[in-house]
Amino acid sequence: MRKLKLQVQMTLDGYIGGPNGEMDWAVWDWDDRLKQYVGDLTEPVDCIVLGRKLAEGFIPYWGSVAANPENPEYSAGQKFTNTHKVVFTKTLDKSDWANTVLAKGDLADEINKLKNQDGKDIIVYGGATFVSALIQHGLIDEFHLLINPTAIGNGMAIFNQLDHQQGLTLIKSIAFDCGIVVLHYEPKRA
């Protein structure tokens, strides 16, 4: 069975965005070791799942990066653009994006269908609402939390919709020179 991996930037106090989605607190000047970690995380992935709101910025952004060989993130742009994407939406009727299909059914059913298909691992990028729903339904198999050296006091959280305790097992933690600490967890299953 394929694994669903979450990679997300997060503040020290547990937010993935400010109250209005601000990301001005995030460290984007990553050191080479962190870039390698993320590259190693995404290399064995052949499917990206996204919520509609994030997809509307994510897909065009990486498409423009992939179209410019001079861009320092060109290879990442190629990877994200050429990888099959599934956008979860209740409002879109068709996808205008290359290599992208829409999922409009029940979240857990759609994710479990993807996990049971042949292929490599799946990575999720999403906003707080989408990621919270995945966590609430116990669908994430690996958490890769990029903890930034900033506290913002208020914002968009991803664990606040849990209606039960979710135990996690720490697989590893790595501190990077840019100030980010990656915490890799897997959920404890009953």
Distance CA 38, CA 1 (A): 22
- Residue 73: the pLDDT is 87
Closest CA to 138 of 182, 107, 170, 116: 107
Name the residue ranges covered by the structural domains of the chain. 40-119
Neighbours of 143 (CB within 10 A): 23
Q: Within a 10 A sphere around the Cβ of 111, how many other Cβ atoms?
A: 22
Provide the pLDDT for residue 4: 98
- What's the mean pLDDT in 13-36? 94
The pTM score is 0.93
Is residue 149 over pLDDT 90?
A: yes
> How far is it, in rounded angstroms, from Cα 134 to Cα 75?
28
> Is 190 a residue whose pLDDT tops 80?
no
Class of domain 40-119: alpha beta
Q: pLDDT value at position 57?
A: 87
The total of other beta-carbon atoms located within 10 Å of residue 29's CB is 7
Dist CA 123 CA 140 (whole Å): 9
The pLDDT > 70 percentage for the chain reads 100
* DSSP reduced 3-state for 126: coil
**84/94 Cα distance (integer angstroms):** 15
